[in-house]
């Protein structure tokens, strides 16, 4: 199937008893056994639920994987990956990460003996150069949050596997979505999504996803999911599956509007810099063009007036861009990384990579572009 068809039909089939085209919401915790020690397909909903299974099959299909896993949040999905490691193992990760990921790495798993090495993943040679005998995982975001850096997934995977084929490579594909890029096809072992964002698409669920191709790795991840229990519930699974069915048409508008917003900001007299891989002067525009179908709906920028007063005036001046956490919904959102999504990262670490107080991140929705540009223009002149 082509991707646009996979979002609707991938991994799906009518419910076998009633023929329901959409999988019912199975609100049950347990299932009858035919005899002692003889469960049917489902035994207990922590291990599997028909609604969640339908979603997980869809997850696998849209990322060209063989196995998908639905978690109670994106952080729970990341937690599952890290639980495959042991004390003393090293993880190479991008220096520009979602704040919650950085917090989990440095304030939680470091206490359990994992070591994290942060590098600029847009410079591929730095990833390979950081590998040691203890390296077990490479964690990539691309585009990164919030500076929109691009990692060349295929080049990094090839370089890492040449050093040590056993090193796992995981890609947080939340910003791009499988509509724009498919890391498993480019050589990655694990794809992670905060399905709260574009996969759900309507800001009404919190969910995480993992997708893999390797059966042995899938078995390990499923055991951790079952044993630790951070599963997605049936109602959220139903909503996420409904969201995926329109992912392709939503992403077309997100990309269209994202390009227009980036161009508008780039040419605005009050804007100092725009971070968007679709701009030709973006340092990794060529890589983005090679591995992505389009450039997405996430745009970050800095105001020329770097004062807190000017930044906060803009943040409070938008009407259609709602000041809120998260991203990827049909509605446009504006985020201030320093006080919101990346507030948990120490100031020195933020400043080192360029997350300044005047940095603003936009999640460009699917509203009429003329209205969005008017909203930004009005806020810039507040």
Convert 304-335 to b/e letters by CB count within 10 Å (16 or more is b). eeeeeebbebbbebbebbeeeeebbbbebbbb
Residue 341 CA, distance from chain mean position: 14
Are the CB atoms for 172 and 181 separated by under 8 Å?
Answer: no
Scan for tokens 């199975």, then name that residue: 26
Q: What phi, psi does 299 have (nearest 5°)?
A: -135, 130
Alpha-carbon torsion 176, 288, 156, 122, what sign?
Answer: negative
Sign of CA dihedral 31, 226, 188, 201: positive
In this structure, is the dihedral angle defined by the CA atoms of residues 27, 32, 33 and 36, taken in order, positive or negative?
Answer: positive
Beta carbons of 186 and 231 less than 8 angstroms apart: no
Helix crossing, 99-107 with 74-82: angle to 10°? 40
Active site residues: 46, 98, 172, 197
How many angstroms separate the Cα of 15 from the Cα of each of 31, 222, 246? 17, 23, 20
């Amino acid at each position: 199937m082509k991707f646009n068809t996979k979002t609707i039909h991938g991994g799906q089939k009518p419910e076998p008893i009633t023929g329901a085209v959409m999988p019912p919401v199975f609100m049950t915790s347990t299932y009858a056994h035919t005899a002692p020690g003889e469960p049917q397909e489902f035994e207990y909903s922590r291990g599997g639920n028909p609604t969640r299974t339908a979603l997980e099959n869809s997850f696998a299909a849209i990322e060209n994987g063989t196995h998908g896993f639905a978690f109670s949040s994106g952080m729970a999905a990341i937690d599952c990956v890290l639980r495959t490691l042991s004390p003393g193992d090293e993880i190479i990760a991008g220096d520009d990460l979602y704040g919650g990921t950085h917090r989990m790495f440095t304030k939680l798993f470091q206490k359990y003996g994992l070591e994290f090495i942060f590098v600029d993943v847009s410079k591929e040679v730095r990833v390979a150069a950081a590998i040691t005998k203890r390296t077990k995982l490479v964690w990539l975001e691309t585009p990164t949050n919030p500076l929109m850096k691009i990692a060349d997934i295929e080049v990094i995977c090839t370089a890492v596997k040449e050093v040590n084929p056993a090193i796992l490579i995981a890609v947080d594909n939340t910003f791009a979505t499988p509509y724009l890029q498919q890391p498993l096809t480019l050589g990655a072992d694990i794809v992670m999504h905060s399905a709260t964002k574009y996969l759900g698409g309507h800001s009404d669920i919190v969910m995480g996803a993992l997708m893999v191709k390797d059966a042995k790795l899938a078995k390990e991840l499923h055991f951790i999911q079952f044993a630790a229990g951070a599963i997605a519930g049936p109602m959220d699974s139903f909503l996420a599956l409904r969201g995926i069915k329109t992912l392709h048409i939503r992403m077309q508008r997100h990309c269209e509007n994202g390009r227009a917003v980036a161009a508008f900001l780039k040419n605005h007299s009050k804007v100092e810099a725009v971070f968007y891989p679709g701009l030709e002067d973006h340092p990794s525009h060529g890589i983005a063009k090679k591995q992505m179908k389009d450039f997405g709906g996430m745009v970050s920028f800095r105001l020329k007036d770097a004062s807190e007063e000017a930044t906060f005036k803009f943040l409070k001046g938008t009407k259609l861009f709602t000041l809120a956490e998260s991203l990827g919904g049909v509605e446009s959102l504006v985020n201030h990384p320093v006080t919101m999504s990346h507030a948990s990262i120490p100031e020195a670490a933020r400043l080192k990579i360029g997350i300044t107080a005047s940095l603003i991140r936009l999640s460009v929705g699917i509203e009429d572009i003329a209205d969005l540009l008017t909203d930004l223009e009005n806020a810039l002149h507040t």
